[in-house]
C-alpha cells in the first residue's frame, strides 16, 4: 500500500469511529467543530466548551467592589441632640443637660462634675475616628477620648478603657484604665498608667480648633493630631467597645465626630 493510500485508509477509519460514537449517542448527526458563538465557545462531538478570552472592561467593572459594599462613615454626633449616646456622671442627681449641650452643631461640655457621655453601641472595632475639639477659654483644660469602653466605674468614675488624653499640652498621651498596651521605647515613655506622646507641640492655642484622628485596627491604635503622628500603641488588651468623651474639670467643645469602619485586610 502506498503512503497516499495508507493516509486515505486512516482517514476512513477515523470517520467511521466518529460515526460509531454518534450512534452510541442516539444516532444524531454531530457537527465536528461548529461554533455556536465563535467568540465564546467551540463545539466538538456535541460538547460545548467555553473559549478562554480576556475580560472586557465591562466585566472588570462587574468584578469591582460596588460602592454599596464599601464601609460607610457614621456621624456619631448628629449636631442636634444626644441620639445614640448615654452618660455617667459622678453625681447621680445631675442630668446630662446640666453638663452637656448642643448649639450650632457643636457639642459643649461644662466640665463639672466629672463623668462622660458614651455611645449606646458597645461593639465598635476596626475603625477610624475623627473629630475636632477646642478649649473655649484661654486657659486650656483637661478632657479625654475613651476607646474600647466596657465595665463601668472600673477606676473611680471612669469605665474600663484606653484613654487618649486631650489635656492641653499633653494631648495624645495614652492612659490605661484597667487595660494594657505597649509603645515603642516604653522604658522612656511610660509613667505609671500613662504613655507619653511623641510630641507636645502639635496642638493649637486655646480657642482654636484641633483635629484628632485615631485609627484602631485589631490590637493597634494610631493617634494623629493636626496631621502629626503623636502616639502608636500595640498589643492592646482590648480591641472593641463603646466610645466616650470625658467631662473632666474644664469647659471643652467638640464637633464633626465621625467614625469610618475600616475595610477588611485582604489575605496575603
Residue 267 lies in a domain: no
Which of these three, 66, 86, 106, is where a domain ends? 66
201-239: pLDDT as tens digits: 999 999 999 999 999 999 999 999 999 999 999 999 999
What is the tally of structural domains in the chain?
2
13-30: pLDDT as tens digits: 444 444 434 434 444 443
Residue 239 lies in a domain: yes
Both 117 and 18 in one domain: the answer is: no
Both 42 and 90 in one domain: the answer is: no
Both 59 and 123 in one domain: the answer is: no
Please report the beta strands in the chain, taking only residues with DSSP state E, as ranges in sequence order.
Answer: 41-44, 47-50, 74-75, 85-89, 100-103, 106-109, 115-119, 127-134, 144-149, 161-165, 174-177, 190-191, 194-195, 210-217, 220-225, 228-233, 242-247, 252-261
159-192: pLDDT as tens digits: 999 999 999 999 999 999 999 999 999 999 999 9
Both 116 and 58 in one domain: the answer is: no
Rounded to two decimals, what is the model's pTM?
0.74
Q: Which domain holds residue 16?
A: 3-66
Both 113 and 208 in one domain: the answer is: yes
Residue 268 lies in a domain: no
Both 229 and 257 in one domain: the answer is: yes
d(CA 117, CA 110): 12
Q: What is the mean pLDDT of residues 231-248?
A: 99
Please determine, for residue 155, whether its predicted confidence score (pLDDT) is greater than 80: yes
Residue 266 lies in a domain: no
d(CA 266, CA 33): 43
Q: Give SS3 for 120.
A: coil
3-state secondary structure 174-217: EEEECCCCECCCHHHHEECCEECCCCCCCCCCCCCCEEEEEEEE
Residue 115 lies in a domain: yes
Both 56 and 95 in one domain: the answer is: no
Both 163 and 218 in one domain: the answer is: yes
The CATH number covering residue 184 comes to: 2.60.120.560
Both 215 and 102 in one domain: the answer is: yes
Please determine, for residue 3, whether its predicted confidence score (pLDDT) is greater than 60: no
Please determine, for residue 103, whether its predicted confidence score (pLDDT) is greater than 60: yes
d(CA 1, CA 198): 94
Query: How far separated are the first and last CA of the chain, in Å rounded?
Result: 64
Both 122 and 233 in one domain: the answer is: yes
Both 43 and 134 in one domain: the answer is: no
Q: 100 with 117: CB under 8 angstroms?
A: yes
Please determine, for residue 33, whether its predicted confidence score (pLDDT) is greater than 90: no
d(CA 109, CA 90): 15
Task: Provide the 10 A C-beta neighbour count for residue 151.
Answer: 12
d(CA 10, CA 2): 12
Amino acid at each position: 500500500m502506498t503512503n497516499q493510500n495508507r493516509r486515505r485508509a486512516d482517514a476512513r477509519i477515523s470517520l467511521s469511529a466518529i460515526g460509531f460514537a454518534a450512534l452510541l449517542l442516539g444516532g444524531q448527526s454531530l457537527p465536528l467543530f461548529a461554533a455556536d458563538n465563535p467568540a465564546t465557545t467551540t463545539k466538538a462531538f456535541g460538547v460545548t466548551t467555553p473559549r478562554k478570552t480576556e475580560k472586557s472592561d465591562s466585566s472588570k467593572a462587574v468584578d469591582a467592589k460596588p460602592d454599596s459594599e464599601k464601609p460607610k462613615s457614621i456621624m456619631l454626633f448628629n449636631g442636634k441632640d444626644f441620639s445614640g449616646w448615654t452618660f455617667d456622671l459622678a453625681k447621680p442627681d445631675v442630668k446630662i443637660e446640666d453638663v452637656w449641650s448642643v448649639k450650632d452643631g457643636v457639642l459643649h461640655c461644662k466640665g463639672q462634675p466629672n463623668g462622660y457621655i458614651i455611645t449606646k453601641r458597645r461593639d465598635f472595632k476596626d475603625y477610624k475616628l475623627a473629630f475636632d475639639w477646642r478649649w473655649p477659654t484661654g486657659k486650656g483644660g483637661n478632657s479625654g477620648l475613651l476607646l474600647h469602653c466596657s465595665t463601668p466605674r472600673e477606676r473611680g468614675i471612669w469605665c474600663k478603657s484606653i484613654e487618649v488624653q486631650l489635656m492641653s499640652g499633653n494631648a495624645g498621651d495614652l492612659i490605661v484604665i484597667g487595660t494594657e498596651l505597649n509603645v515603642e521605647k516604653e522604658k522612656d515613655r511610660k509613667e505609671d498608667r500613662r504613655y507619653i506622646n511623641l510630641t507636645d507641640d502639635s496642638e493649637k492655642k486655646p480657642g482654636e480648633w484641633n483635629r484628632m484622628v485615631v485609627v484602631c485596627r485589631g490590637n493597634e491604635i494610631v493617634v494623629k493630631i493636626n496631621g502629626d503622628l503623636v502616639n502608636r500603641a500595640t498589643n492592646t488588651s482590648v480591641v472593641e467597645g463603646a466610645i466616650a468623651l470625658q467631662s473632666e474639670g474644664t469647659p471643652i467643645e467638640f464637633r464633626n465626630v465621625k467614625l469610618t469602619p475600616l475595610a477588611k485586610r485582604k489575605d496575603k
